[in-house]
Amino acid sequence: MKGIVFTEFMEMVESKFDEDMLEGIIDDAGVSGVYTSIGTYPHTDMIQLVMALSSKSGIEIPELLRVFGGYLFSSFTRLYPHFFEDIDNSFDFLQQVEGFIHVQVKKIYPNAELPRFETKRLNPSELQMIYYSDRRMGALAVGLIQGCMEHFKDDGEVKIVDSSNDDTVVTFLIRLAK
């Protein structure tokens, strides 16, 4: 997993909780806690950090991942503004994730292991998005999608309509308010 995900997670923990919470979860998770944005680290470290935060905060893991997804999307808009040029709505952006955004990310980080997404516009107000990843972080994807909708000021909802038994494949229905 790319280090930027770790550094943004740590910034989120500090901003939403405090530095003591961050230090506590690093200790409890048994990870080094030293991450750079350009490094690559085992995704199991992130799992350990999220589990430790859940234990210390009392917030369920899916909710923590969802909140972090929204935070991470906001960070991406700041760090990679060129990904958002000439796009004026969340559906157009989400439909470009696999064919454009991830291609560009691979140019910057050739060894990045990214989830795969398929999208299908069902009608002007509904988009189906399918997430494929062995990391099983569909809740993080929900937060990223919600963050995208907030960024483009698209009012609506994200629902998980199907999930494989091991959460490696998750189908979302994204519906805009009419």
- Residue 113, pLDDT score: 86
Residue 119 DSSP SS3:
strand
Q: In what order do the strands lie in the sheet with 126-132?
A: 116-123, 126-132, 169-176, 156-163
pLDDT band of 36, cuts 50, 70, 90: very high
- Residue 149, pLDDT score: 98
pTM: 0.93
